[in-house]
Structure 1
Amino acid sequence: MIHKKRRNRICCFILVAAMFMAGCGKQEDCLSVWKESAHLKGDETEKELYQMALEEDILVVYTVSTRITKVKEAFEKTYPGLCVEIRDVRSPELIKAVKEHEASGRPECDVVVCNDNSGDFRQELVDAGYVVPYMPEDIADKMKKGHFGKTVSFLDEAEMLFYNAGKYMECPIQNIWELTKEQYKGRIYMPSPLRSFSTFAFCGMTTAYTEELEKAYQDYTGKQYNRKSECVWDYFWKCIVKNTVFTNSSDEVCEKLGNADGEADFGIMVSSKYRYKDIGYKIEPVYHLIPFSGCVTTYALMLATGSRNVNTAKLFIRYLLGGSDGRGEGYQPFCTLGTWSARKDVADGNPVPMEEIDLIQTDVQYLIQNRKSIEKFWLGLLAEK
């Protein structure tokens, strides 16, 4: 029975592949056929998926996380005969590549791992149908609330403030407005919010927390903020930018903050960089700050619509999620300092729980709705830098 089901599934995928190659008339018809044949219910066993995957080609994964390479290596050892190709690209380039390949009728990618914070991924790939969620039935009830729906959020992180632990025994500030002090001019590093989805999420979400910023301003200065002058978040970021050196990525921030020279006092970066503490980087996160230290961020794990190696893709997703019991090697590379598990049965990698940290939530729909005004503000601000 299993062999018959496998043959039928393989024949169906050969037909779908041929339709894509031929242009298929209407692309939506191709995708409709693909979704039906892809069998996304998640009820196949690991053994069934492996047997069907052996009939497929090399799995192609587009990812913004270098840690996927470790998953690839472990996956290929666990499932002999299966091969994975990793394409490590930044989020904007990943989105562009997925759209272009699928629009051409020659989808190349099978699995997508992308930052799901700024609204770009959600709006351009998820809502547009370029990627779809896949969740094995025996894992679904083990995911934390809010981590499986239109997307599969397989890991929690934060875009947050870090300080130079080689220079300071403890964080030297208690209020975020202290970052505007003259003494920190040129000593704060952060990725450009126009280059980093996570940084855009943090900068963008501060616009929804005006009351908190105003109260923090009053706590810091002893004066009530004058709303008639300009919006508080507008003024806040104008002051911060004067002291900030902008980079292209969190990796660059981590290098400046954690090296022996100590070029930076503070850095705003993705929390998973905290794992570099284990190899000697002198960095520590700011868990408590008035009114907040950063924002919650997530990573999406999705199946690419039109995947030609869909069984291998489903097996890879299952493996990356840690398998039925969460103990599989696929999830282990992500259980590090600066990360929080998306599963109820897997412990967080970070010693301090996320709910005990002064973080604001990321509202993707809010960022989508306010994208133009946020981008316009930052384009103008960085042009003056």
Structure 2
Amino acid sequence: MKPLKKQLAGFAAVGAITFAFVAGASAQEKFDLDALVAAAKGEAPITVYAVTGKIVDTAKAFTEKYGVQATGKKVNEATQADLMIRESQSGKVIGDVSLAMDVGSAMAQLLPEGIVESWVPGDIEPDIADASRNPLVVVSDPQVWTYNTEKYKSCPVKNIWELTEPKWKGKVAMLDLFEKPLYADWFNQLETHHDAEIAKAYEDLYGKKLETDQPSATAAWVKAYAGNAPLLADSTAVADAAGAPGQAEPFMAITATAKYRENVTGGLKLGICEGIEPFVGFSYPGFGLIAKGTKSPNAAKLFIHYLLTEEGIANQTVDGKLPSNGKIALPDDEPSGIAKHRDSLMLFDSSTAADDFDKRQDWQDFWRVNYKK
């Protein structure tokens, strides 16, 4: 991977502590959490945008812990990017921190144009994989192939090419990729980095090499998958289609592990398709970014630091979201059991996310042309 070459150089004390983003330097130099807290206490309150409503409670806990005022607001991926662009242009920053904005927008627009910055706290940096440091990934959101455990003893599908067959026509549910473009980005990631695996999955299932007039194995699969008329719906409808009890013919689905909490609270019967080829699903990165125009840079950095701790990310790990801090484990009672399948997920390569953004419309158009009810 070839991430952007921005690293934290260190910090300089000029009255309050002010941290600098300097290319190529190590974030581990002289990191001082106490100094950061002290500097943050002298700044104005901050607002944090996040895709999860749990950010409200996270911000309250942060305020209580450090005495630094923070307010959390639930804002979806695309709207976060739009807001931060508009706020930067107006010079009136409201969102000081962004958690899990649209990755393509971040890589194609906001980071290159200096609207946001990425910062990694030096005391935690060694525990974060290189690929997740720049831009900083705070937590990743797994989207997994899912079946109904009441109907089936194990996943009835062992290979994603099966989902293009008549048996599953109109019986697979997923988020609407026109509302959630991360699914179009997923197609581009597959084609860019894993096309050989898609081709191999075909050969493993059918015992012959894939022959197609499409430019890639991924395009061939997407065409056939779209032609099998998956149900496009919101997250609740997708989870219900696969997991509602009492169904004679439940759907297959690809859905977020966060929906598996409904196994406990709503009686759903969701199970991860262990061993499905070529991947059990994919893991979508949740960047933690700071508005370059923030008037409270130290408070923003302190909040990023908090999100990278077990305490700060706890209300997301209970939903199966994967922290980038390698020292943090998922709770033993996390409903999906995704920890056992982490190595079977396709990982988004953020270094090519700008290309995902550029080709997003192409994949959506390709889907629209090939979708058949």
TM-score using structure 2 length: 0.81
Matched, 1:139 2:121: no
Query: Matched residue of 1:319: which SS?
Result: helix
Matched, 1:188 2:172: yes
1:79 matched residue in structure 2: 66
Superposition map of 1:95-244 within 5 A: 95-115=81-101, 117=103, 119-149=104-134, 151-208=135-192, 209-228=194-213, 231-241=216-226, 242-244=228-230
1:24 matched residue in structure 2: none
Matched, 1:362 2:348: yes
Query: Contact 1:194–1:375 at 8 Å: present in 2 too?
Result: no
Percent of aligned pairs sharing the same letter: 22
Matched, 1:288 2:275: yes
Query: Matched residue of 1:137: which SS?
Result: coil
Query: Contact 1:164–1:258 at 8 Å: present in 2 too?
Result: yes
Name the larger-Rg structure. Answer: 1
Alpha-carbon distance change, 169 to 87 in structure 1, aligned in 2, over 3 angstroms: same
Identify which range, 160-169 or 299-308, moves more after superposition: 160-169
Rounded to whole Å, the distance in 2 between the matches of 1:7 and 1:291 is: 53
Query: Contact 1:176–1:293 at 8 Å: present in 2 too?
Result: no
2:4 matched residue in structure 1: none
Query: Contact 2:51–2:75 at 8 Å: present in 1 too?
Result: yes
Query: Contact 2:47–2:96 at 8 Å: present in 1 too?
Result: yes
Superposition map of 1:25-44 within 5 A: 43=30
Q: Which runs of no fewer than 5 residues in structure 1 stay unpaired? A: 13-32
Alpha-carbon distance change, 372 to 300 in structure 1, aligned in 2, over 3 angstroms: closer
1:339 matched residue in structure 2: 321
Rounded to whole Å, the distance in 1 between the matches of 2:350 and 2:138 is: 16
Identify which range, 220-229 or 202-211, moves more after superposition: 220-229
Q: Which runs of no fewer than 5 residues in structure 2 stay unpaired? A: 1-11
Q: Which amino acid aligns with 1:266?
A: M
2:296 matched residue in structure 1: 309
Alpha-carbon distance change, 159 to 336 in structure 1, aligned in 2, over 3 angstroms: same
Matched, 1:257 2:239: no
Post-superposition offset of 1:62:
1.1
Identify which range, 266-275 or 307-316, moves more after superposition: 266-275
Post-superposition offset of 1:353:
4.4
Rounded to whole Å, the distance in 2 between the matches of 1:204 and 1:103 is: 30
Rounded to whole Å, the distance in 2 between the matches of 1:343 and 1:380 is: 37
Alpha-carbon distance change, 354 to 126 in structure 1, aligned in 2, over 3 angstroms: farther
Post-superposition offset of 1:301:
0.9
Query: Contact 1:193–1:203 at 8 Å: present in 2 too?
Result: no
Identify which range, 82-91 or 249-258, moves more after superposition: 249-258
Query: Matched residue of 1:61: which SS?
Result: strand
Rounded to whole Å, the distance in 1 between the matches of 2:273 and 2:343 is: 8
2:8 matched residue in structure 1: none
Matched, 1:268 2:234: no
Query: Contact 1:165–1:283 at 8 Å: present in 2 too?
Result: yes
Rounded to whole Å, the distance in 2 between the matches of 1:217 and 1:125 is: 38
Deviations 1:119-162 (A, max 9, x none): 2221221222111122222222222332212x111123333211
Rounded to whole Å, the distance in 2 between the matches of 1:344 and 1:371 is: 28
